[in-house]
Amino acid sequence: RQVWRLRRRPVGEIRDGDLTLEREALPELADGQFLLKILYISLDPTNRIWMSDAEGYMPPVGLGEPMRALVAGRVVASRKPGVAEGQIYSGLGVLADAMITDGQGLNRLDLPKGLSLATAFGALGMVGPTAYFGLLDIGRPKAGETLVVSAASGGVGQVVGQIGKIKGCRVIGIAGGPEKCRYIVDELGFDAAIDYKNEDVGARLDALAPDGVDINFEQVGGAIMQAVVARLRRFGRMPLCGLISGYNDVEPADWPGKWGLVLMRRLTIQGFIILDYVDRYPEAIRDLVGWMAEGKLKTRQDVRDGLDRAVEHLNSLYTGGNFGKLLVRVSPD
Ligand code: NDP
């Protein structure tokens, strides 16, 4: 098989040689194991966190080990009772075109009617439930409230904004560049977009939401986060989903210096990791699939071919080179 192994902990952006693509033979299957041919790999901002030995929510990938990734694949051989050739599994795997597994961290994927594997895995695998629980459980949106979401055209952000609309919020998305901004307003029905690469985020927020912001679904951190936090209303909520602008920093990510506002305005800020919600996935999938079937929720996947360019594609996440949920198609479904 071909597999990417972590050879060095990246400093800043991932560079050539931090990971290497290697060809190796797989051992024979043991009892209780099965062989998965990997069809899709999800490239996620958190992949960079897994390469670092700074404190995270999972142990870092060890040097020399296969790089961890979320995958979807087809069973091509099985010595595990209950697992049959042809079945599709998805979940925690490795950045490779095949893996031998005992099934831990993987679940059988039943394709909801009418959805391709790329959509079911890309939109419903992790980013859909992240948007669903982060917004509904932590953001607690109410009709008429103003919701701001950053990285708004990406995997999580596009779903957050549309669920916000389903719940009756006024939704402002922050994204990089006119094409992404047009997409979230014209195609996804957000009320407004702010192009942070060409516009002053604070000034645009003042114009679009003169009474302030009720919910900030935070995915970026840094100056964008500071601009939104400064405009949160009393009793505002801030699901803290991600801080992507800091993931390639050599020093720990910066943090807004406006903690006084959190106190005075009695804001709720809660970090969350989607792993804590795994038992409630069926609830999210039921609603997400229902909204897709009703035409209320659209998702966009950015599918790239070829395992050999996976790391280059991964790097594009941190500069906004992706448009939608980034997947690598390793092999045709
Ligand atoms: P996206 O599809 O949103 O891709 C990342 C996007 O982030 C880029 O396209 C880019 O969009 C934006 N971005 C990158 N760097 C910067 C920067 N310096 N400043 C502003 N925007 C930037 O990825 P996901 O939807 O998978 O993830 C989005 C966020 O959610 C990440 O922070 C991720 O870590 C987090 N996450 C958290 C989970 C949890 O359990 N807490 C689970 C899943 C994701 P643009 O072109 O608009 O700048």
What pLDDT, on a 0 to 100 scale, did the predictor assign at position 256? 47
Q: Supply 272's token pair.
A: 């969350």
Regarding the beta carbon of 130 and ligand 1, being less than 6 Å apart is answered yes
What pLDDT, on a 0 to 100 scale, did the predictor assign at position 277? 95
What pLDDT, on a 0 to 100 scale, did the predictor assign at position 213? 98
Which atom in ligand 1 lies closest to the alpha carbon of residue 323?
9
- Assign residue 54 a region (left: φ > 0; alpha: ψ between -120 and 50; beta: otherwise): beta
**Dist. CA 117–CA 72, nearest whole Å:** 8
Task: Report helix angle 201-208 to 222-229, nearest 10.
Answer: 30
Q: How far is CA 64 from CA 6, 38, 68, 105, 257, in A?
A: 5, 21, 12, 21, 39
Residue nearest to ligand 1 atom 34, measured at CA: 242
Tell me what the pLDDT averaged over the chain comes to: 95
Sequence-distant (≥ 6) Cβ neighbours of residue 312 within 8 angstroms? none
Regarding the beta carbon of 33 and ligand 1, being less than 6 Å apart is answered no
What pLDDT, on a 0 to 100 scale, did the predictor assign at position 134? 97
Sequence-distant (≥ 6) Cβ neighbours of residue 110 within 8 angstroms? none
225-241 burial: b if 16+ Cβ within 10 Å, else e: bbbbbebbbeebbbbbb
Q: Which of 183, 219, 325 to mutate to test the pocket of ligand 1 (most atoms within 8 A of CB)?
A: 219
With a cut of 0.95, is the ipTM above it? yes
Regarding the beta carbon of 219 and ligand 1, being less than 6 Å apart is answered yes
Per-residue pLDDT of the chain (333 residues; tens, 9 = 90+): 999 999 999 999 999 999 999 999 999 999 999 999 999 999 999 999 999 998 889 999 999 999 999 999 999 999 999 999 999 999 999 999 999 999 999 999 989 889 999 999 999 999 999 999 999 999 999 999 999 999 999 999 999 999 999 999 999 999 999 999 999 999 999 999 999 999 999 999 999 999 999 999 999 998 999 999 999 999 999 999 999 998 988 776 555 455 777 877 888 989 999 999 999 999 999 999 999 999 999 999 999 999 999 999 999 999 999 999 999 999 988
Q: Which domains does the chain have, with CATH numbers?
A: 2-110+300-329 (3.90.180.10), 123-277 (3.40.50.720)
**Dist. CA 140–CA 138, nearest whole Å:** 6
pTM of the model: 0.95
Sequence-distant (≥ 6) Cβ neighbours of residue 69 within 8 angstroms? 41, 42, 43, 44, 47, 93, 94, 95
Q: Which of 244, 247, 249, 272 to mutate to test the pocket of ligand 1 (most atoms within 8 A of CB)?
A: 244
Regarding the beta carbon of 154 and ligand 1, being less than 6 Å apart is answered yes
Q: Which residue do the tokens 């010595």 mark?
A: 79
Q: DSSP for 63-128?
A: TTSBPEEEEEEEEEEE-STT--TT-EEEEEEESBSEEEE-STTEEE-PPPTT--HHHHHHIIIIIH
Cα 25 to ligand 1 centre (Å): 35
What pLDDT, on a 0 to 100 scale, did the predictor assign at position 257? 52
